[in-house]
Chains A and B, each alone.
Chain A
């Protein structure tokens, strides 16, 4: 079975500061990993994904994440937070045999302080 743990249900950063949202996964087979963002009253938007290949992946809006197999982690970072980054972020995992059945973490609410 696969699972995702997001450390920190709420994270606050100052505008311009580094954003670091943590995600650890458990999967018995090579995982596909994702970060989604959700704004109030909206659906999920894909920020970035890791399937195969380069372990450092870049996404939209300046976000990136690094797949570390030895640490079973896929942390999301952004060098400089913007007010518009305030939203809820979800890490998700699946594997090639069931690529449309995503298992999500519990989410991290990001607050950006002026």
Chain B
């Protein structure tokens, strides 16, 4: 079974631009979560999508948004990029059943550099 895929793997943008990152979950997984990883702040939860609806949101400004499609693929968008948005953006998928914990499987990430 194919793992979580993220595209693109690397991206360079300039301040003020916007960017869209894509995540394809493992087949059958319906929950997609996004995390930002930076040297200064570490790994931080951005948001989770399930059944095309945002279910949880971390403490990030409104410039960070996302969506999920009917096939469970998810995109996240960052508008008006700032230098501090340079990070590795990780996507994780899980089954999200009602019983207990479902393991999250992480993709390789998208490395975003803002110049």
Contacts and interface: CB of A to CB of B under 8 A. Distances in A.
Contacts of A103: 45
A46 B94 CA distance: 13
Contacts of B44: 104
Nearest to A104: B43
B71 interface: no
Most buried by A among B35, B102, B104, B106: B104
Contacts, number: 60
A41 B10 CA distance: 11
Contact of A90 (B43, B92, B96): B43
B56 A101 contact: yes
Most buried by A among B33, B45, B48, B92: B45
Contacts of B101: 32, 49, 51, 94, 96, 99
B56 A100 contact: yes
B108 A42 contact: yes
Interface of chain B, main secondary structure: strand
A73 to B, nearest CB: 19
Interface of A: 32, 36, 41-46, 49, 51-52, 90, 92, 94, 96, 98-107
Interface of B: 4, 31, 33, 35, 42-45, 48, 55-56, 58, 90, 92, 94, 96, 100-109
Q: Sorted from nearest, which 3 A-B pairs have the closest CB atoms?
A: A43-B106, A104-B43, A44-B106
Given A41-B108, A43-B4, A100-B94, 13 more contacts: A42-B109, A43-B108, A43-B109, A44-B90, A51-B101, A96-B101, A100-B102, A101-B33, A101-B45, A101-B58, A102-B33, A102-B104, A104-B43
